[in-house]
Structure 1
């Protein structure tokens, strides 16, 4: 099995990430996509075998949020209410095209779409996702969907939606959020344990990492991405690479 270990965002210098880890999930593309020239520069400075994955722009998934939109430097045209929730609107399709352009610049393989808990597990939202991804340009990318909230309590609806939309289900495997057995690619996003749905201040214990390695090594996936998304993400990812080497020897 091919296992890729990385972090959600650069926590240390880019050079350290390139040297010691396998991948980074770019977070800037979620809040305010950088200009193409900057992304081209990141790709050219990174080793050829270092992977970038891209988190889709919040405008596509979350829509208008005054707190989040204050971070935007890029001009956003059109009706604010037309953004978010995978609405099949001109505005949302434009925002999606910005995400595709970022993924192309970084020569990414995977685009991550993370939906908020407010995007509820419902037939209406399921149909919206399916319609969006069956009509929008996909650019040949693998699209990994991490839903927050009650989708995980509705596994049949979650699996059916992903299948019809052609998506890979991503989740925090240490919180039991595993994809269907038939999914060949695992994309794990690890947000810390305890607390609510995320606990970014959590530092993974050795036992946590051993349990994670056992899950990864024992899975039937052909490949797995393990992306740490906590305050200690860089150090935890390095520790996990060592634990993984030992665990998968057995």
Structure 2
């Protein structure tokens, strides 16, 4: 089973729920969302629709991150990078609450490049994951700039799903689920989000995902042309 969606609603929700079977909610990363808003989304969606939510940036991103400019929360110096601080734990609990209201399947922890492959960060993660609840959610993690060995150790140690871009690397297999995010093209270590996937690129992605497929694969487009590319990809999968 391969389920396709986008990172955020790329069109009106009513239409999105007809076009796609899943969404990775981005609003939960930037802001704390009101309960009634999340309840409305859940009620609007088909019963079998799959929500994934991106953990609030207070869990992952330090106060120096420019992403905080879009937030409705003023950060302290004790946020982000999975630091085992009261603020980080509180924001994790708020993320879980949002996931519960939406009836989400996944919670995505997307860490910034500043979360380097260091002993300090691994130790902080160890303290973080030893204290938090996961409840019934599948926790997926995107580590940027880490070695394959480091990623493998991280996801195995903490019982997580490895998130990868299928154009960059094969995911570290764990369990029966693969989770992919397609950001666009890459140039000198930078992500080019304004990349429209060519037909052959989409076919290659489909080939790789089928070859690496577990029981379930979830693919989220995160480029500037995400809606169009995701729809084209669904058509390719049909053949």
TM-score (norm 1): 0.91
1:58 aligns with 2:62: no
1:234 aligns with 2:227: yes
2:22 and 2:65 map into 1 onto residues whose CA distance is 31
Q: How does 1:1-250 map to 2 (within 5 A)?
A: 2-65=1-64, 67-74=66-73, 80-149=76-145, 151=146, 154-176=147-169, 178-195=170-187, 196-246=189-239
Aligned residues: 238
2:23 and 2:213 map into 1 onto residues whose CA distance is 24
Q: Sort the Cα spacing of 1:66 and 1:220 in 2 relative to 1 into closer, same or farther, 3 A.
A: closer
CA deviations 1:136-177 (Å, max 9, x no partner) are 11122111100112x0xx21121111111111110111122x
Cα shift at 1:102: 1.0
Q: Give runs of ≥4 in structure 1 deviating > 6 Å.
A: none
- Uncovered stretches (5+) of structure 2, i.e. residues with no partner: none
The answer to whether the 8 Å contact 2:182/2:222 transfers is yes
Q: Sort the Cα spacing of 1:194 and 1:66 in 2 relative to 1 into closer, same or farther, 3 A.
A: closer
Cα shift at 1:72: 2.3
Q: CA RMSD in A?
A: 1.5
